[in-house]
Amino acid sequence: MPEMIQIRRRRFTATLGALIASAALVGAVSASSPAQAADAVTLKFSAVFPAGGQQGDGAVQLGKYLEEYSDGKIAFQLFPSSQLGNKIQSLEGLRNGSIEMTEAAATDLGNFSDLWSIFALPFLFNDGADAIRVVTDPRVAKILNEDAEANGFKIIAWWNMGERSIINSKRAVNSPEDLSGIKIRVMQSPMLAKAITAMGATGVPMAWGEVYTAVQQGVIDGLENSPPVIAVNKFYEVADYYSLTQQFIIPDPQMISTKVFDSLSPELQDAVMKAGEASQKDFNAKWEKAVASDIQLLKDKGVKVNEVDKAAFRKAVQPLVDDYLASADEKTKALYDTIVTVRDGG
């Protein structure tokens, strides 16, 4: 019996320690201040990214804007590193109102509406800044906002997440043939997996929190992402070759639950939208500088960075794009046509 009591005490102590550590982490990245009203509305922001780096800093700054524009009537709490769940779980939380805010790649919304799978098309935009210009154009934004809100998500900002390229532990990639036999993680979108497979590799959908260990243990050979994300998550520790394929350019919408947003006063709704606008401007202004510095960081860490025959990859994926558009519904085709018109200056 005494032994059982000791075991229970140890379990209790361990659980209490974990709760204290979690609370300390949340407190460390909270944007709230002592000046906030006691009855402030608390908005929890669920993220898969770590507390540091461009995304973590951007989320904290968003919280500061929320406090500023609401005169302290909004308290913001960032829960990084998948503490509240992966992206799909967080989006489900927004739908039912149990989580107030989150970020996601545009393709993640494809799990709730087929329209968003269009962002999984390779080489859809010229670059990350171009993607932001296109998705915030009123003609495109109207289509995306209406569909997002119909599924429970209110978009308040768009972040430029740059051009996603392939990092792997096997070899440098110059052409589609170099990807033969290589397993590359993609986000949880069937279209992304098909695109990477069309490029010559094997696309493996996987939740973000599992990726580092999977590469480390050889379950997969690598992944695709932008330099700041690769750097802050230290993938240079487990993969040596970063090839600038730049096949996916997928911006991240910052979102609040429509249930939560609709429950706010008009004053606070206005504060949320103004904070989102300020966040979008601030984050995107800092992003390009981060890309350049983090490419150099990867090189300094011993990663071999190389250019590729991008025309060969475009040719390899074109049949996939053609098949997608041939089978897409009219709403998706209309979105694609609008994106292309805006992208090409129409």
106-151: per-residue pLDDT in tens? 999 999 999 999 999 999 999 999 999 999 999 999 999 999 999 9
Instruction: Report the C-alpha gap between 227 and 322 in whole angstroms.
Output: 29
What the chain holds in terms of domains, given with CATH numbers, is 2-160+251-287 (3.40.190.170), 164-249+294-343 (3.40.190.170)
Write down the pLDDT at residue 10: 39
**Arithmetic mean of pLDDT over the chain:** 91
Contact partners, residue 184, CB within 8 Å, separation at least 6? 166, 168, 196, 201, 202, 203, 204, 220, 221, 222, 223, 224
Predicted confidence (pLDDT) at residue 252 exceeds the cutoff of 50: yes
Please give the average per-residue pLDDT across 211-237, as a whole number.
Answer: 97
Q: What percent of the chain has pLDDT over 70?
A: 89
Instruction: Report the C-alpha gap between 179 and 115 in whole angstroms.
Output: 29
Instruction: Report the C-alpha gap between 285 and 129 in whole angstroms.
Output: 10
277-302: per-residue pLDDT in tens? 999 999 999 998 899 999 999 999 99
Q: What percent of the chain has pLDDT over 90?
A: 86
In this prediction, residue 13 has a pLDDT band, given cuts at 50, 70 and 90, of very low
82-102: per-residue pLDDT in tens? 999 999 999 999 999 999 999
